[in-house]
Structures are given as C-alpha cells and as structure tokens.
Amino acid sequence: MNKKIIISLMVIIGILIIGTVIGIWSWQSSVAATKKQENAKKIDAINKEIKKVEATKDENNYAPVDVVRNFINEVRNDSMDKAKLYLATDQQEMDIKAALEFDKELDKITITDTSQTIDGDQSTVLVTGFWPTEDKTFEKNIILVKDNNLWKIKEIKGV
C-alpha cells in the first residue's frame, strides 16, 4: 500500500510540476506578446518621426538647417563662391558679408544653436552665436525656399 501512495504522490507532484511549468510558460508567452505589441507601436511612432524628418530634406538629402550650417562654414572659410551655391537663384548677386552683417573675423564665430521651422516649401532657420572676444550674442533668421527641389537661402535677417 505504501508503494501505491508513493506512486500516487509522485504522479500528483509530477502533474503539479508540469502544470506549473506550463502555467509559467503561458504567462511568459503572454507577457512577451504584450511587449512585442508595445515595441511594434514604438517602432511605428519612430518610423513616423523619421518620415517627417525625411520629408523636410531636399534632393541632396539636406534639411534647411543643414544648408545654413554648410553656408556659414563656407563663409567662415571665406569661400564666397561655394557659399553662393546655397543661395536661391535670384539671390546670387547678394553681398553675403553685408547681408550677414558680420564685420568681425568670421573664422572665430561660434554658433551655439540652430533651429528650423518649415511651412511647405519655405523654412526659417534661427541661428544664434557669438564671437569669443565679446559677451553679446547675435541671432539671424535665415529664410530658405525650395529652388529646383533644393533648399536655398532667400533672405537673411537680423533679429
């Protein structure tokens, strides 16, 4: 009789262990499925943000803020011919240094911030910076337009 009780207990314990393992596995599967759904939602949201950013870029894969940074780098390097490549077709004759109103040594300029707002085929980039020798900062609003599917600088305004 003891053997029957021991065998019965072993069968019951075995069933309990198998049931526990199946229960834990099932619970983990449901947690994993929930996490998978959450991750899929996060990935969708990130992909939407990427598409928004990509939509702001031009044929050369430049966003307006990229065009302005490249333009300022060319002006810093005193490469006015290259800087003019970033100007709109009707602005090619612009006196860049006069438009920027920078009468200091341009190679020493420090850009601290750039931000952009886009409204269709027009964008405004706010550039903030300073010269290391002065305490005051400067701000410039640079207006860009799409010109042959490329972001080009249309106007430079002091703020």
pLDDT, tens digit, 9 for 90 and up, residues 67-121: 999 998 888 888 888 989 999 989 888 888 777 776 666 667 777 888 888 888 8
| Token pair in block for residue 14 | 């075995």
State the burial class of residue 129 (Cβ atoms within 10 Å of its Cβ: 0-12, 13-18, 19+).
middle
- What is the C-alpha to C-alpha distance for residues 65 and 131, in angstroms, rounded to an integer? 20
- What is the C-alpha to C-alpha distance for residues 143 and 124, in angstroms, rounded to an integer? 5
pLDDT band of 127, cuts 50, 70, 90: confident
pLDDT number for residue 110: 77
